[in-house]
Amino acid sequence: MQPKLARRAEELIAERTPFVVATVVRAQRPTSVRPGDSGIVLKDGTIEGFVGGACAETSVRLQALRALETGEALLLRIVPEGDEAAENEGAMVVRNPCLSGGALEIFLEPRLPAPHIAIVGETPIGQAIAAIAEQLGYDAATTATTPEDLSGDAALVIASHGHEELEAITAGLAAHVPYIGLVASRRRGAAVMEELTERGVQDLDRVRTPAGLDIGAKTAEEIALSILAEIIGSRKENTTAEAIGATDPVCGMTVAVADATPTAEYEGRDVYFCCEGCRSAFLEEPARYAAALG
């Protein structure tokens, strides 16, 4: 990776910003890239660096966004339309109708910040969750009060034994934290849910109480383990590999619906293109390509 790009990657890691490193590992002539060329793909589809021309970038952008969602690395093979290259396990073949050069192989490696777990309650259970979570690769922090910013957190666990439970749950729901768990008995949990209902708080069905899988846990460490197992399970359920795609009406390519993808408005809808060339062709004769929009 070029030094400038390496420094950029370090900045993104420090900022806890997810990105994908795209590295060219094979390039057939004629092509403008060489093995070792690399780029960084951000979650808005922006590509920094060089991994090929506009046509190659389109395929890299879409598959990189999907890699960000799954967290799994991928070998991407971009071949000209009509190429009979076969897909192998661990590799994805994309037949690119506008690829003018030879086939490319690009390794996509997602770099994701460690998922953050906010724990309200500096109690034995809260401390046990933080200790075990660290061993599992999570970034966990315990606080005595509700954190001011919960956006981007993977989970919120309230283990405060009655302190700030209502405030923490309300804040977690407002921040759309994927997992919210309340450590309490069934009776206590029901009472908290009833009070939140009376306050008009919505989406209470998203709150897990008692938090954790029912494994007969007794000790603080066992309860922490049951909660972390539930968090891991909920994250797997929410993982998807389907970044939203659209069809370029000019060349027929599947492109990412992302901020960095060239777009145009037609009859009140957004139309996405693989490159500025296709966008210009559409704008010159939109009626010619309108049928392809479906």
CA dihedral defined by 11, 14, 18, 21, rounded to 10 degrees?
50
pLDDT(279) > 80: yes
pLDDT(96) > 80: no
The CA distance from 187 to 122, in Å, is 22
| Residues 94 and 101: beta-carbon distance below 8 Å | no
Q: Across the chain, how many H-helices and E-strands are there?
A: 8, 15
- Helices 220-237 and 124-135 meet at what angle, rounded to 10? 50
pLDDT(10) > 90: yes
The residue behind tokens 């919210």 is 180
Confidence tier at 223 by pLDDT (50, 70, 90): very high
Locate 292 and state its tokens.
Answer: 């392809």
Is 79 or 122 the better-scoring residue by pLDDT?
122
Pairing status of strand 104-111 against strand 74-80: antiparallel
Confidence tier at 241 by pLDDT (50, 70, 90): very low
The whole-angstrom distance between residue 69's C-alpha and the CA centroid of its chain comes to: 4
Q: Is 197 helix (H, G, I), strand (E, B) or coil?
A: helix
The CA distance from 184 to 225, in Å, is 15
Confidence tier at 180 by pLDDT (50, 70, 90): very high
Neighbours of 262 (CB within 10 A): 19
pLDDT of residue 78: 86
Q: Write the pLDDT tens digit of every residue in 130-171.
A: 999 999 999 999 999 999 999 888 999 999 998 999 999 999
Written as one string, the DSSP assignment of 58-78 is HHHHHHHHHHHHH---EEEEE
Locate 68 and state its tokens.
Answer: 């960000």
| Residues 152 and 116: beta-carbon distance below 8 Å | yes
pLDDT of residue 141: 93
In the chain, the domains with their CATH numbers are 14-113+244-284 (no CATH), 116-237 (3.40.50.720)
Q: What is the mean pLDDT of residues 176-201?
A: 96
Percent of the chain exceeding pLDDT 90 equals 58
- Helices 186-198 and 165-174 meet at what angle, rounded to 10? 60
Q: What is the mean pLDDT of residues 256-279?
A: 88
Is 207 or 1 the better-scoring residue by pLDDT?
207
pLDDT of residue 268: 87
